Copies of this chain bind each other. A is one copy, B any other.
Amino acid sequence: MLWSTDKRSQILQAAFKLFAQKGFFHTTVEEVAQEAGVGKGTVYGYFASKQEMLHQMLCFATDYYFDKFYEVMEGNGGLREKLETIAREHFRFFNRHKDVARVILFEHRHITDDLGDWLIQKEQRRINFLEETLRQAAEAGEIRPVDYQVAARMITGSLWNVGMELAISSFQGSERQMAGGIVDVIWSGLKKE
């Protein structure tokens, strides 16, 4: 379950909703407090500052998101199945937690440099992990040799970008279908002859 029911989670939930709707800067701490049904001062009992709140939100959200990714990738099965599961889980996340997704996508700019670096590294580790996985799949003969770094970026890029469409526009599609379409093209591009 994404949300607990304690006060801290209430606040986080409210913040995700409002930051997603109106952006970090256009949301006031007072609004978050109201949405969460607590007093303004209470927010400061759980988060040192508005910035800190966003930091924790992004940590929470990306942990949740990336944990899923590694869980799938480290499981058993062929690469193609893994990619399809990843894609499906990605779109499921964007569909179910549109608010969280929007905050990850758009508000990571308003974070301090050190957290920004931390996030970039987190994504970089994912890219590296994927790159390595692709390399191994190539060595195992599952796919043909390509520029693994670029291919890894393509995969994540496609996912983020289609996810972004989900988040900002009214573009709709079933998770399975979208995941299938993407992996179909990617796989054709990667598979051995």
In the assembled complex, the CB of A108 is this many whole angstroms from the nearest CB of chain B, namely 9
Interface residues on A, range: 35 or more
Q: Is the CB of B161 within 8 A of A23?
A: no
Interface of A is mostly: helix
Q: Which of B156, B161, B188 contacts A153 (CB 8 A)?
A: B161
**Residue A32 at the B interface, CB < 8 A?**
no
Contacts of A150 in B (CB 8 A): 162, 178, 181-182, 184-185
Contacts of A182 in B (CB 8 A): 150, 154
A:62-120 near B, CB below 8 Å:
106, 109-110, 116, 120
Q: Is the CB of A185 within 8 A of B110?
A: no
